Amino acid sequence: MMRQYELVDRVSSYDPRANEDLLNRAYVFATQKHGDQKRASGDPYFSHPVEVAGILTDLHLDTASIATALLHDTIEDTETTFGEIEDLFGREIADMVNGVTKMSLLELSSADTAQAENFRKLLVATASDIRILLVKLADRLHNMRTLHFIKSDEKRRRIAQETMDIYAPLAGRIGMHNFREELEDLSFAEINKDARELVMERLSELNEQSSDMLSEISTAVTSQLLEQGLVVEVHGRQKRPFSIWRKMQNKSISLEQLSDIFAYRIVTQSEDDCYRALGVLHRTYRFVPGRYKDFISTPKINGYQSLHTTVIGPNNQRVELQIRTREMHDIANRGIAAHWAYKDKQDEHPDIAKIEPFNWLQDMVEQLKTGETAEEFLENTKLELFTDQVFCFTPKGRLIALPRGATALDFAYAVHTAIGNSCVGVRINGLKLPFRTLLKNGDEIEVVRGENQMPLESWVHHVRTGKARAAIRHSLREREEADFVALGGQMIESLFAAEGLQADGTLLERALGVMHYANLDLLRLDVGRGDISAADVLLAVMPKKRRGRRSMFAGAMRGLIGRSSHKSAQRPAMLPLNGALYGTVVNIAQGYFPLPGDEIVGVVMMGQGVVVYPAAAPDLIEFEATPERLVAMKWDEKTQSLFASRVQMTAVNRTGSLSIITQTIADFDANITNLSFIQKSDDFCDLTVDVEVRDVNHMNQMIGAIRGSRVVSEANRVIFRADKTES
């Protein structure tokens, strides 16, 4: 384990501004907090944060990052609080430690590898500062290096798989190839030990065959270049077993065919030298066509720059070459961390300025917006990426990605349409909340479902996703259709009953044939919609029942007004206005306020279902010529619905009048939905109050009470709007 002074010396060696006092305090604080906690290896727990800090010194990170590494497990694994760290080490470090803790907690909640991409995005979205992500990756790297100490096979495997699926690609995305390769290889050793051993065997075979090749090639290349006055460093390197394995998989190469296991990196002193070195090498050795790539003039999206080529080297061996400057080399290995470390040292490294780390990150974002690649974005060391998305969990840990602004209802629909349709509320992180609540990253949402719940028109306003909106509309349409079928069925039944007939199967089957309908529901649907009338159905089965239009009108009206002058005629059976149909395919005519207890009549409006009028409505005379559109209706006595109504009153113009009136109404359990005010004189004013009430009785009692209050001189129920009376 690295000693305290060693760690501090290392930081100071690359960062003259390092805060040694703070580093010393963080080291001591973490040692004390972790106390005698032990790792699976038997080592003191504290060795872990120290190693993580050590890994980060290789990346030349700043004091705050190193301190965060030392403290990264204190909040999660000891009694330490956020406040304590803030007091001792400042807000910046406290926030970073908190960020690492949050990521560790997320880790516990998921791990469905099929959702790796989403999980990676969640991690990036959670890290508000790029350094948090770097600490987390170093944490994972150290845990992987010590993975073999964990006794449970299942746990080792799960951690390795998670590393392979989530952390290794994440390191790659931000250009940290050394991290990526090591993470992959450590995971590979756990997940596919046999394959790795095969690769290793072949590697040592090849090594024996070309024992001195590494140094031979290095020497040859170096001297070739030196002759041309080019000073370079050549790094020869055997590829990692996992990257060899991946290549074998992707390109279907067998172990025997495997040859180019070495990669050479030629580090030059300037960009010009890269091209000059390339020229020398291509003139000296035969190059393999199709393998040359110029990532200097066109850097990779993550800022990677190099020239790539493959030549046939000494001993007829294919040799892969990467030619780059020192800075390019640094960035290739350390990726975002290198950018970060150079960020404010551009005076000391003027050539770094050319790389403009934030420019390539900006490019990444542009690419992301066009939806080409999923990369990360850093702006002023803040990760702003994926701010257009939120990532939430089901109680079972499934990760759901939604657009920012999505609500819990969107989430319910994202899980399953049936779950969305029956959503009555949600529990977010255990707290009961309305389903229109906006979601945050990492929220865990449990959908509360109601057996009788059905989507309402208004739900469309509480969702953000197209999927939810389409599902709500679909459900509304389906229900409307079912309501039309039910309405049509009732209309047929009531008309048949009025004729003393029973609208049963056998009788209606006859109508299907005559009217060319495939089944009864389609027939009912068209009647309900008003495309055909119930009278047409009656005529189809009983042609003799033809009646005059006038008598049909009279028939429909007769039952309502209750003054039957035709003793012989049967009273028409009535269509109940019940709660289920009300509001979807049965609606009350605009400007009218009938209530249960009032006589009503329905008019079938094509495509809209039935519009209900008070029987005394003057408009009804318009339908005298089309009596087939009229349907007798009655209120369903069991209905629980509240109905819109209106009261007109004249009140004393005095402070407090209004509150007395509204209180009186409230005492009757009626809902005021609107209130408008017309000043009449200094002493009196006219008021129109829209209220929802149960029925006529309810209304009458309420009006009685309003009249009884000392502040109202007159109060009357309005059955239809003033403009209706004029017609």
Residue positions annotated with a catalytic role: 76-77
Q: Which residue carries 């990444």 as its tokens?
A: 364
Cβ nearer to Mn ion, comparing 129 with 526: 129
Cβ at position 391, least distance to Mn ion in Å: 22
Cβ at position 388, least distance to Mn ion in Å: 30
For residue 510, the number of C-alpha atoms closer than 13 Å in the C-beta half-sphere is 12
Cβ nearer to Mn ion, comparing 46 with 613: 46
| Choices 137-145, 322-330, 389-397, 580-588 (CB under 5 A): range interacting with Mn ion | 137-145
> What CA–CA distance (Å, rounded) separates 127 from 75?
16
Q: Does 165 bind Mn ion (CB under 5 A)?
A: no
Q: Does 139 bind Mn ion (CB under 5 A)?
A: yes
Cβ nearer to Mn ion, comparing 139 with 273: 139
Cβ nearer to Mn ion, comparing 139 with 165: 139
Three-state secondary structure string covering 51-73: HHHHHHHHCCCCHHHHHHHHHCC
Cβ nearer to Mn ion, comparing 103 with 552: 103
Could you tell me which residues come within 8 angstroms of residue 711 by beta carbon, excluding any fewer than 6 positions away?
651, 652, 654, 656, 657, 660, 661
> What CA–CA distance (Å, rounded) separates 142 from 52?
6
Q: Does 184 bind Mn ion (CB under 5 A)?
A: no
Cβ at position 72, least distance to Mn ion in Å: 6
Q: Residue 529 burial by CB count (10 A; 0-12/13-18/19+): exposed, middle or buried? A: buried
Cβ nearer to Mn ion, comparing 139 with 162: 139
Cβ at position 159, least distance to Mn ion in Å: 12
Cβ nearer to Mn ion, comparing 45 with 643: 45
| Choices 73-81, 347-355, 383-391, 511-519 (CB under 5 A): range interacting with Mn ion | 73-81
Cβ at position 18, least distance to Mn ion in Å: 22
| Choices 65-73, 213-221, 293-301, 415-423 (CB under 5 A): range interacting with Mn ion | 65-73
DSSP string over 126-169 = H-SBHHHHHHHHHHHHHHHHTGGG---HHHHHHHHHHIIIIIHH
| Choices 122-130, 133-141, 150-158, 595-603 (CB under 5 A): range interacting with Mn ion | 133-141
Cβ nearer to Mn ion, comparing 171 with 541: 171
Cβ nearer to Mn ion, comparing 146 with 641: 146
> What CA–CA distance (Å, rounded) separates 444 from 428?
6
| Choices 68-76, 229-237, 503-511, 545-553 (CB under 5 A): range interacting with Mn ion | 68-76
* Residue 649: count of CB within 10 angstroms of its CB: 20
Cβ at position 52, least distance to Mn ion in Å: 6
Instruction: Kindly provide the b/e burial profile for residues 424-448, where b requires at least 16 CB atoms within 10 angstroms of the residue's own CB.
Output: ebbebeeeeeebbbebebbbebbbb
| Choices 136-144, 183-191, 406-414, 662-670 (CB under 5 A): range interacting with Mn ion | 136-144
Cβ at position 338, least distance to Mn ion in Å: 23
Cβ at position 185, least distance to Mn ion in Å: 20
Instruction: Kindly provide the b/e burial profile for residues 256-288, where b requires at least 16 CB atoms within 10 angstroms of the residue's own CB.
Output: eebebbbbbbbbbeebebbbbbbebbeebbebe
Give me the residue whose beta carbon is nearest to Mn ion: 139
> What CA–CA distance (Å, rounded) separates 169 from 185?
12
Enumerate helices (H) and strands (E) in the chain, giving the number of each: 30, 22
Closest CA to 52 of 159, 146, 121: 146
Angle at 518 between CA 513 and CA 523, to 5 degrees: 85
Could you tell me which residues come within 8 angstroms of residue 548 by beta carbon, excluding any fewer than 6 positions away?
none
Closest CA to 356 of 305, 294, 293: 305
Cα dihedral 696/697/699/700 (nearest 10): 110
Cβ at position 31, least distance to Mn ion in Å: 15
| Choices 72-80, 144-152, 313-321, 706-714 (CB under 5 A): range interacting with Mn ion | 72-80
Number of residues engaging Mn ion in binding (CB under 5 A) = 2
- Contacting Mn ion within 208-267 (CB under 5 A): none
For 532, 594, 693, 719, the CA distances from 613, given in Å and listed in that order, are: 21, 7, 17, 10
List the x/- string, 93-132, binding to Mn ion by CB under 5 A.
----------------------------------------
Cβ nearer to Mn ion, comparing 70 with 176: 70
Pair 630, 601: CB distance under 8 Å: yes
| Choices 135-143, 328-336, 478-486, 589-597 (CB under 5 A): range interacting with Mn ion | 135-143
> What CA–CA distance (Å, rounded) separates 633 from 662?
33
Could you tell me which residues come within 8 angstroms of residue 122 by beta carbon, excluding any fewer than 6 positions away?
106, 110, 391, 399, 401, 441, 442
Q: Does 73 bind Mn ion (CB under 5 A)?
A: yes
> What CA–CA distance (Å, rounded) separates 98 from 506?
74
| Bridge partners (DSSP) listed for residue 379 | 382
Cβ at position 180, least distance to Mn ion in Å: 19
Q: 3-state DSSP call for residue 677? A: strand
Cβ nearer to Mn ion, comparing 49 with 572: 49
Pair 112, 401: CB distance under 8 Å: no
Cβ at position 48, least distance to Mn ion in Å: 6
What are the tokens at 581? 């149909």
> What CA–CA distance (Å, rounded) separates 193 from 195?
6
For 48, 180, 442, the CA distances from 168, given in Å and listed in that order, are: 20, 5, 21
Q: 3-state DSSP call for residue 303? A: coil
List residues near Mn ion by CB under 5 A: 73, 139
